[in-house]
Amino acid sequence: MAIWGSIVGAALIGSVLVVAPEGPYRTIPEALAAANPGDVVEVRGGVHAGGIVVDRAVTLQGIGKPVVDGGGRGTVVKLVAPGATMRGFTVRSSGADLNRGDAGIAVQAPAIVVEENRLEDVLNGISLDNAPQSVIRHNSVRGKDLPAAERGDGLRLWYSSDVLVEANEVNGARDCVIWYSTKVRLLGNRIENGRYGLHFMFDDSGEVTGNVLRGNSVGAYLMYSRGVAIHRNYFDENRGPSGFGLGLKDVDDLRAEENWIVGNRVGVWIDSSPRSLDSESRFRRNVLAFNDIGLTLQPAIERNTFVENVFWENLQQVSVQGGGALRGNHWNEAGSGNYWSDYRGFDADGDGLGDIPYRAEALFHEILDRRPALRLLQFGLAGNAVEFAAQAFPTLRPPPKLVDEFPLMTRPALGSPEGETRTGLAGMLLAGAGLMALAGSILGLTRTRPTRSPRAPIEPLIDSALVVSRLTKRFGRHVAVADFDLRAAPGEIVALWGPNGAGKSTVLKCVLGLVGCSGQILVGNVDARRNGKRARRVLGYVPQDVALAEDLTVAETIAFFADLKRVGRDRSQELLELVGIAEHAGKPVGSLSGGMRQRLALALALLASPPLLLLDEPTTNLDAAGREHFLRLLVSLRTRGTAIVFASHRLDEVESIADRVVVMEQGRVAFSCRPDELCDRLGLQIAMRLRVGRDDHEAAVAVLRAGGLRLSPNGQSIGVVLAPHEKVVPIRLLERSGIAVTDFSIDDAAGSPEVGGAR
């Protein structure tokens, strides 16, 4: 190293030889022939012929970006003298012979510096062969416009150790290869649109820091190497046939920290790594997000430690090639695990760790590991059916491929990789956090850490419990909700009315923070889009179908949620009595009727005494008696000042409890009215079915037709189509004629917005 330092030092004290049209030297070879070690050959502009050989320790300095053009033949510039420097040139048009190794710049001696050059239309870009202790810095390389397999390598190091490769840009080359070279440092490079962004082979003690590897077939693939450090890099959208962000084969003692691995087919691929029994690899504080598969390992892989990594919204978080479970790897260390966006647990003690382990045990993912071709069905009915069966029948569930005993509840704070601003991705992560706002179906149970202090009092709402302004939600090109406005006052019950697909449930999900949207949502005086956690503290939610643990008793269930919400047990008993199921406290939830389950769901939603209650078709699965009792409960809450917003398509519900109806059509507000105005505004009619004695049937039909009613007789019953406020008319007509009505019913879907015109 001292010898090469002396050579470089000599270059600082030599003469300056100028190459320019007016002389004294008119060509680069002419100046090189006259130069001595340590001289500077200053080339001022112009286009110069390729085939240049720098055979002495001089600095070849370009002024005004002179061009060296190879004319499509051979290597454009060769640096064969130890200690030489080439700086400030445009190098273009090398030959295209892979067997000959045509290149833009070939470095064939130690301690050479190549910096601030632009290489265009070259087969191999900068190629180092037995050139240790060299520096390749601030160059840009663009390969030839050829099929990927016919291109050369953007950067190529062969038996060249202790080399610094820094702040270069490579685009459209085949690979960047580092072979048989130890202690190579790659810092802050950008490599795009190639085959292998980086390909290591037999390279020990290397460092890869702050690089961007984007749009390649594979981001980086490391083979047969030991002690490589991979820090703060960005592996983005590498989606070739294999599509690895980072691939490892037979690599020992790897250290991968604070890398962002995003949007690849496979974020990290691990094959036979580590290979030596005395080695281990560590993955710490990396972000693996939005990949098809976050992490793939071979089934026999051992001695890898994964800690404080973020596995965020990968279609499949972890895959085992060929199926099975992983053994001998560590998913936590010193009581700290990883963050999993699909974790469904909770943190009751507020220590920042999930109270139940994270288990990767999806049945369909296990099938995909064994039959990758079935990934085509991942988002279809078949995949959903398989996963539903595994949930319904636990005996079908496969053994977990991994268990993280200490899953993190919050993502570790990670900055963007060096030199790369990722505002867009940060925004996606923050927006995606909103999708995890509710860990259960009720109450807005968040994955964020609860406070250790006693539950803070619910903030009183101001004059409006809920204000929604210009709410818009799109799913791709489909507009689900557009410019939606809604206001609900304390003690007011507002019904959202409309057919399936009108956007009722989407509006409620936007208020809850379950889906992202635009517009303004104020829950009391809290901006729900900016501070969703605080907003969810002042609302409760009852879904159409509530998912609860079937084997827990009613008392155990409400006690569990009360502990999570920091609510006293006395409040639990009070609510069970309020909703009328206190006498069933000892029964398993699985034994409850539909009406009882909905009452329990309402009790859970009311645990924290929320001033605002949201309900999504809450009586759909209830019988008439259960529906009536549930509606009475809602009316009693109104008298206590609770604001209620509920989605429904039942006219009888809306008429009996709502103060105001907001009618929705195709995601927009069609109009708003009082419940008693709804039928006239919509022209709704209902179907009423009457039963009379067999001997009175024909007479009853004649009486009703004479009264101007539209009939649809059916055996012993008589169907009557009429306006909702006319229900008593047919009964009175028959009564006046001495015909007794033995029974009557109104169609369960009476007044439904799904059917236009007469019902």
> For position 460, what pLDDT does the model report?
44
Decide if 626 is inside a domain.
Answer: yes
Taking Cα atoms as reference points, which of 600, 644, 645 lies closest to residue 622?
600
Among 125-134, 325-334, 655-664, name the most confident range: 125-134
252 backbone dihedrals φ, ψ, rounded to 5°? -105, 150
Per-residue pLDDT, 597:
86
Output the CA torsion sign for 238, 244, 250, 254. Answer: positive
Location of structure tokens 């109009």: 671
Say which CATH number the domain at 177 has. 2.160.20
Residue type, 189: N
Confidence of residue 365 (pLDDT cuts 50, 70, 90): low
State the alpha helices, DSSP H only, in 453-541: 504-512, 532-536
pLDDT at 590 exceeding the cut of 80 = yes
Q: Are residues 654 and 720 in the same domain?
A: no
pLDDT given at position 721? 81
Asked if residue 480 and residue 592 are part of one domain, the reply reads: yes
Give the integer Cα–Cα distance in Å for 123 and 95: 7
Q: Are 22 and 45 in contact (CB under 8 A)?
A: no
Residue 57 lies in a domain: no
Whether the pLDDT of residue 571 is over 70: the answer is yes
Between strands 155-158 and 643-648, the pairing is unpaired
CATH number, residue 719: 3.30.70.340
Shared domain check, 492 and 367: no
What pairing do the DSSP bridges indicate for beta strands 293-297 and 266-271?
A: parallel
Which is more confident, 690 or 226? 226
Q: Which of 176-190, 422-436, 467-481, 642-656 has maximum average pLDDT?
A: 176-190
For residue 444, what are the contacts with CB-CB under 8 A and spacing of at least 6? 437, 438, 512, 513, 536, 537, 539, 540, 541
Q: Is residue 563 part of a domain?
A: yes
**Residue whose C-alpha is closest to residue 287's, from 314, 249, 250:** 314
Q: How confident is the model at residue 748 (pLDDT cuts 50, 70, 90)?
A: very low
| H/E run at residue 14 | none
* Domain termination site, one of 645, 679, 713: 679
For residues 689 and 675, membership in a common domain is answered with no
Higher pLDDT, 755 or 608: 608
List pLDDT tens digits, range 514-541.
888 899 999 988 888 888 888 888 888 9
Q: Give how far Cα 363 sits from Cα of 57, 322, 330, 384, 400, Å.
A: 65, 14, 22, 10, 9
Whether the CB-CB separation of 692 and 742 falls below 8 Å is answered with yes
Q: Report if residue 383 sits inside a domain.
A: yes
- CA 244/CA 265 separation, integer angstroms: 6
* Same-domain pairing of 300 and 344: yes
Kindly state whether residue 225 falls inside one of the protein's structural domains: yes
Last residue of a domain, one of 679, 694, 722: 679
Across the chain, what does the average pLDDT equal? Answer: 84
Same domain, 657 and 705: no
Domain end point (choices 679, 699, 733): 679
| Pair 599, 723 in one domain | no
pLDDT of residue 121 exceeding 80, the answer is yes
Give Cα separations from 613 to 148, 443, 580, 601 (angstroms).
59, 10, 19, 12
Q: Which residues pair with 540 in a beta bridge?
A: 613
**Dihedral, CA atoms, 176, 181, 187, 192, nearest 10 degrees?**
10
Grouping H, G, I as helix, E, B as strand and the rest as coil, residue 233 is coil
197-222 residues labelled b (16+ CB within 10 A) or e (exposed): bbbbbebbbbbbbbbbbbbbbbbbbb
Q: What percent of the chain has pLDDT over 90?
A: 46
The answer, yes or no, to whether residue 708 has pLDDT greater than 70, is yes
Residues 166 and 280 in one domain: yes
Q: Which domain holds residue 605?
A: 466-679
pLDDT band at 422 (very low <50, low <70, confident <90, very high): very low
627 plus 705 within the same structural domain: no
229 has pLDDT over 50: yes
Q: How many Cα atoms within 13 Å fall on the side-chain side of residue 417? A: 28
Cβ atoms of 198 and 226 closer than 8 Å? no
What does the alpha-carbon distance between residue 194 and residue 152 come to, in Å, rounded to a whole number? 10
Q: Which residue has the tokens 């008693």?
A: 676
Q: What is the mean pLDDT of residues 477-487?
A: 90
Q: State the pLDDT at residue 94.
A: 97
Residue 459 lies in a domain: no
- Name the residue among 274, 178, 282, 156 with its Cα closest to residue 229: 282
Q: Which residue has the higher pLDDT, 68 or 505?
A: 68
Is it the case that residue 573 has pLDDT exceeding 60?
yes
The count of structural domains within the chain is: 3
Least trusted range by pLDDT, from 340-349, 425-434, 470-479, 625-634 = 425-434
Same structural domain, 644 and 701 = no
Same domain? 539 vs 655 = yes
Length of the chain: 759
Determine, yes or no, domain membership for 539.
yes
d(CA 602, CA 609): 11
Neighbours of 668 (CB within 10 A): 16
Pull the structure tokens for residue 689.
């079915």
| 8 Å CB contact between 412 and 308 | yes
> Alpha-carbon Rg of the chain, whole angstroms?
36
- Tell me, what CATH number does 566's domain have? 3.40.50.300
Residues 201 and 109 in one domain: yes
pLDDT in tens, 259-310: 999 999 999 999 989 999 899 999 999 999 999 999 999 888 899 999 999 9
Report the distance separating Cα 187 and Cα 135, nearest Å: 11
Going by pLDDT thresholds of 50, 70 and 90, the confidence category of residue 685 is confident
Residue 194 CA to residue 377 CA, distance in Å, equals 30
At residue 713, the pLDDT reads: 59
Model pTM greater than 0.75?
no
> How many C-beta neighbours within 10 Å does residue 736 have?
10
What tens digit of pLDDT does each residue of 173-202 get?
999 999 999 999 999 999 999 999 999 999
Residue 345 has pLDDT above 50, yes or no: yes
Task: Provide DSSP, 375-436.
Answer: GGGTTSHHHHHHHHHHHH-GGGSPPPSEEESS-BSSPPP-PPPTT---HHHHHHHHHHHHHT
**Within-domain flag for 754:** no
How large is the average pLDDT for residues 386-415?
A: 72
